[in-house]
Amino acid sequence: MELNGVEIEDTFAEAFPIKMARVLITAATMRWATVAAQEATGFGTSVIGCPAEAGIEMFVDGSETPDGRPGVYIQIYTFGYKSLEGQLLERIGQCVLTAPTTAVFNGFPDAEKQFDTGNKLRYFADGTESQTEVGGRKMHVIPMMEGDFLVEDSLGAIEAIAGGNFFIFADSQMNALTAAENAVDSIQAVEGVVTPFPGGIVASGSKAGANKYKFLKATANEKFCPSIKDTVEGSEIPADVNCVYEIVINGVDADAINEAMAAGVEAAVNVPGVKKITAGNYGGNLGPHKFNLHDLF
């Protein structure tokens, strides 16, 4: 199968279930909401070595937020609800409560699973806290140096999906990077998903386990490493390919990830020098979620 003259390999991305909380951060302006969102979702690329996977889902103006101010939806992922609750408390408490002009709303008010993160954060007020209602939401009012910080009583979480992905093969690093940047930009417009790696891009796609250094959970997937393609047996890198970027997508459900993968691949294949699109899987052993590239179009 080809798209804009670029081969789309007949393979699938393998993804797995994970827990995810979604939080709406509002602020005096979109810029300050974004500052808080970036701090709160940093150090959040992969649960292999980060305390959570996290990213910015979308930007909304005041017509779509309970307090009428500009806002940013962020998503935070870990494998269990217990660790997710801890990450919510720390990331919201340390990176949003501390940020100028922010307020925090529940991004999944209808989810079955609800954490009382707002109720716990109110203890910071040390007895001076109170309650109010904003747009029908139960809010804690925490007096602080800048004024009052408002946080919704509960923050919801769901079982979501991590690890949707595709690989961009290109003739040069700068062409591959241009394709990856455009893919991430197009994915940004899809509701319900995040691309948790730096700038949304993975430079270092890995395999599970190791051939040599068995103490590692994940190591470079040498079959996809262009600089050693001539010496690695079974290299998957064609002669005309010199760079591969992976785009990893987490999201609320399979439909959102399907939509995001399609948007990303379509953006990537429009960039000159892109030679092939493929995807990463573990032979179907890791995750119950399979996203066939050929089914995207």
Q: Which of residues 275-294 bind a second copy (CB under 8 A)?
A: none
Cβ proximity to a second copy: between 28 and 288 the closer is 28
Nearer to a second copy, 203 or 254 (CB): 203
Interacting residue with a second copy among 7, 204, 253, 290 (CB under 8 A) = 204
Q: Residue 21, interface with a second copy (CB under 8 A)?
A: no
Tokens encoding 25? 């951060």
Q: Give the separation between CA 107 and CA 170, rounded to whole angstroms.
A: 38
**Phi-psi domain of 180 (left: phi exceeds 0; alpha: psi -120 through 50; beta: other):** alpha
| Residue (159 or 266) nearer to a second copy, CB | 266
In angstroms, rounded to a whole number, what is the distance separating the alpha carbons of residues 184 and 24?
Answer: 21
114 binds a second copy (CB under 8 A): no
Contact between 210 and a second copy per CB under 8 A? yes
Q: Find the binding residues for a second copy in span 124-163 (CB under 8 A).
A: 124-128, 142-149
Instruction: Give the rounded distance of the alpha carbon of 89 from its chain centre.
Output: 19
Alpha carbons 176 and 189: distance in angstroms, whole number: 21
Tokens of 287: 């995750």
How far is CA 157 from its chain centroid? 15
The answer to whether 249 touches 264, Cβ cutoff 8 Å, is yes
Minimum distance, C-beta of residue 244 to a second copy, in the bound complex (Å): 4
CB of 243 to a second copy, least distance (A): 5
**Rounded CA gap, 163 and 17, in Å?**
9
Residues between 54 and 73 that touch a second copy (CB under 8 A)? 61-63, 67-70
234-273 residues near a second copy, rule: CB under 8 A: 242-246, 263, 266-267, 270-273
Q: Which residue's CB is nearer to a second copy, number 111 or number 192?
A: 192
